[in-house]
Amino acid sequence: AQKVTQAQTEISVVEKEDVTLDCVYETRDTTYYLFWYKQPPSGELVFLIRRNSFDEQNEISGRYSWNFQKSTSSFNFTITASQVVDSAVYFCALYSGNTPLVFGKGTRLSVIA
């Protein structure tokens, strides 16, 4: 069965610190897709990134970067030089086995000025 674990329930950092959000997934399929979504205090869910299982290259988008490691079944998300606007709940999600998306329980990030 597919499963996503976000072990960090809450993280608090001081502005300008770097922070990494962990995501560990489980699937028996060789083809799968991983996602990160952001949920700011306003409540909407914002898509951040989609990565398929055949592309292990790390991705960088501004202050955001993602580290995909199949060997450890992890898809971690790093925010560099965090800002108060990064405060949100972040969800990791997995699609595999032709079943709908499975979400982790989320990590609440608080960035303190």
Partner 1 sequence: NAGVTQTPKFRVLKTGQSMTLLCAQDMNHEYMYWYRQDPGMGLRLIHYSVGEGTTAKGEVPDGYNVSRLKKQNFLLGLESAAPSQTSVYFCASSPTVVGETQYFGPGTRLLVL
Q: Can you give the binding site for partner 1, defined by CB under 8 A?
A: 9, 31-33, 35, 37, 43-45, 47, 50, 52, 91, 95, 98, 100-101, 103-106
CB of 15 to partner 1, least distance (A): 26
Using CA atoms, how far residue 43 sits from 17, 26, 38, 108, in Å, is 24, 27, 9, 13
CB of 104 to partner 1, least distance (A): 6
The pairing of strands 10-14 and 107-112 is: parallel
Nearest CB to partner 1, comparing residues 44 and 62: 44
CB of 13 to partner 1, least distance (A): 21
| 42/58 Cα distance (integer angstroms) | 29
Nearest CB to partner 1, comparing residues 87 and 96: 96
Nearest CB to partner 1, comparing residues 18 and 29: 29
Tokens of 61: 């988008």
| 104/46 Cα distance (integer angstroms) | 15
